[in-house]
Chain A
Amino acid sequence: MTTMTMGAGDPRGPKPKRMTASRIGVYAFLIISALFFLTPLWVMLVTSFKTMDEVRQGFLFNWPANFTFDPWIKAWDTACTGRYCDGLKPGFWNSVKITLLSVPVSIVVAMINGYALSFWRYKGSELLFSVLVFGAFVPYQVVIYPLIIGMSKVGLFATLPGIVIVHTIFGMPILTLLYRNYFAALPSELFKAGRVDGAGFWGIFFRIMLPMSVPVSIVAVILQTTGIWNDFLFGLVFAGRENMPMTVQLNNIVQTTTGIREYNVNMAATILTAAVPLVVYFVSGKWFVRGIAAGAVKG
């Protein structure tokens, strides 16, 4: 055997990172895309801190010369929608109410659906599931009118329970799909072990499956919170005047035709409305990814 001498060029240890042309290209593309999407946000932000005088001068991208919080206060507290001048705040609280009620209700219903469909199969359960999933592809506009009639008949049209029910119905296909697939991926022997141990439908659900569904539930909560908060159409149609969500209120403020258009207030109002889902994304992004990836959780 010959002994090998280690030359300077022999690879050893971590591979050195090198900037190649393709890498530079990738970075350039990413930076340009980021700028492209951040520009409108930047314009909104700086505009919301400018006075109306400054807004009128143009200079869309400039940092505000006279930094002011007034547009924000006005947007929250006193901006007018038609005859009412309470700002966004009633809408905010309505949205909080609607979201806090609709998210748990829709998730619990979907969770039970998904659980029953994956473990307690019966004749026709596959068909039911297909129908449910098909529901995810039906355009909302098609069902709105029949739903209005139905809701009025039972006296729930334009009420808080009414809008909660609507959100539950429309969240059901996608959430049921999410939960069913999650539960279907769990080993069926776990379910069998539960049955041998004497637990029934609810026993297995609450004691075994529910504690195991934390990752997927985080995903569901995030999906539903942002989805329901951002909803405009159902809020407009089903919530009624009393429970008008923030998105509808925002639209009313921005669309108000009397007087001058206060761009700074509109921008502030828009950012306020978008703040909740944005915060949810930022805070939960990590968990969201973890929850999605947790499809492969092992015992």
Chain B
Amino acid sequence: MATSVSIRDLSLNFGAVKVLEKLNIEVEQGEFIVLLGPSGCGKSTLLNCIAGLLDVSDGQIFISGKNVTWDEPKDRGIGMVFQSYALYPQMTVERNLSFGLRVARMPSAEVDARVKRASEILQIEPLLKRRPVELAGGQRQRVAIGRALVRDVDVFLFDEPLSNLDAKLRSDLRVEIKRLHQRLKNTMIYVTHDQVEAMTLADRIAIMRDGVIQQLADPHTIYNKPDNLFVAGFIGSPSMNFVKGTLKGSDFTVAGSTLSLAGYGFKAPASGEAILGIRPEHIAIHDDARKMPIALETEIEIVEPMGADTVAWGKIGGQQVSLRTSADVTIKPGDRVLMGFDPARGSVFDAASGQRL
């Protein structure tokens, strides 16, 4: 498959503040990439660099094989959707959609055809004569997407397009964006700090922190084989349990008791201070726990019924861990239960560097 967007050694400083440093990403044609990270990590900055709205301090950007580092935004073959919609308030929806085409002096028949197609795809035809103030939030965001759509570009850039919407609309539009992607097969680069959006939409997720990409992989890998402690803790809710201990060969010692991590696929033999990460849903209890390579007894302290499932809090070697179990399982505070897990499904990190072992 061809490369659609290629970012090479991109650096960006605001004065003395280094926001992005030597960042590299290759995005395949038709791929849906999600940039995920905490606030202020440089996601919008990266997107603005790709769009050409910020001058880069160093590095190159290629879009569809062409070096666009010095090109104007309009010449890069990108469309962008903003968090605040950024619709032109004094223009009707129709004019909002066609603005870019009219600026480019496209023949009006072609403009009409494109506006018609985009408004059909997004189901905003009844709204064409309205102004942005007369639209609800979800409709505004559709128009904003439409504005990128009419330009018939190769690459779509989304900067937290759903974060101004309420939960219900957000999940509706999320599905719609996914459908749009499957239909158009454009490359999409999508910024969010909502991990559900990231997990559901992405072909690959890039987790960012302080302007550095921590891991770039498909959602399954990100979730199950996080590269470092930051990624492991950032993804998943409730978040991954971290148990501090000492590693010697495949023996993990925590508070005097030793667990054998024989089933875990170490990248290289390691020993020293380490952190064992286990997802709450990978911890089994009662009879299921008996079948697990590691099983130990704990006292349940807190039980949180979530409806679909139940989260309970126990301890491993004196350290708090949460476990997620079916809502049907009866469990209450004070119970002593057996809990077990398979080290093959866990993650082990070096305590000092935070890197996966």
Contact = CB atoms under 8 A, between A and B. Distances in A.
Given A192-B53, A211-B90, A299-B132, A197 B84 contact: no
A199 interface: yes
A10 interface: no
- B interface, size bucket: 20 to 34
Given A203-B103, A211-B90, A212-B90, A196 B79 contact: yes
Given A190-B86, A299-B85, A299-B133, A198 B80 contact: no
A190 B88 contact: yes
Interface string A114-140: 000000000000000000000000000
B132 A197 contact: no
Contacts of A297: 89
B195 interface: no
A190 B99 CA distance: 13
Interface in B166-219: none
Contacts of B82: 189, 192-193
A187 interface: yes
Interface in A192-212: 192-199, 203, 207-208, 211-212
A299 B100 contact: no
Contact of A193 (B52, B80, B90): B80
A198 B132 contact: no
Contact of B53 (A195, A198, A199): A195
B99 to A, nearest CB: 5
B90 to A, nearest CB: 4
Nearest to A192: B53
Interface string A84-106: 00000000000000000000000
B229 interface: no
Contacts of B72: 195, 198
A160 to B, nearest CB: 35
Contacts of B80: 192-193, 196
Contacts of B151: 197
A298 B140 CA distance: 13
B147 interface: yes
B51 interface: yes
B48 interface: yes
Given A193-B147, A299-B133, A198 B104 contact: yes
Interface string B72-95: 111000111011111111100000
A57 B147 CA distance: 77
A192 B51 CA distance: 9
B230 to A, nearest CB: 29
A207 B104 CA distance: 14
Contacts of A192: 48, 51, 53, 80, 82, 86
Interface in A167-223: 187, 189-190, 192-199, 203, 207-208, 211-212
Interface string A244-280: 0000000000000000000000000000000000000
B100 A197 contact: yes
Contact of B103 (A199, A211, A212): A199
Given A299-B132, A299-B133, A196 B100 contact: yes
B191 to A, nearest CB: 13
B89 A198 contact: no
Given A189-B82, A197-B151, A299-B86, 14 more contacts: A192-B82, A193-B86, A194-B88, A195-B74, A196-B53, A196-B78, A196-B79, A196-B100, A198-B73, A198-B74, A199-B99, A199-B103, A298-B133, A299-B85
16 contacts: A189-B83, A190-B88, A192-B80, A192-B86, A193-B147, A195-B73, A196-B53, A197-B151, A198-B72, A198-B74, A198-B103, A199-B103, A207-B88, A208-B88, A298-B133, A299-B132
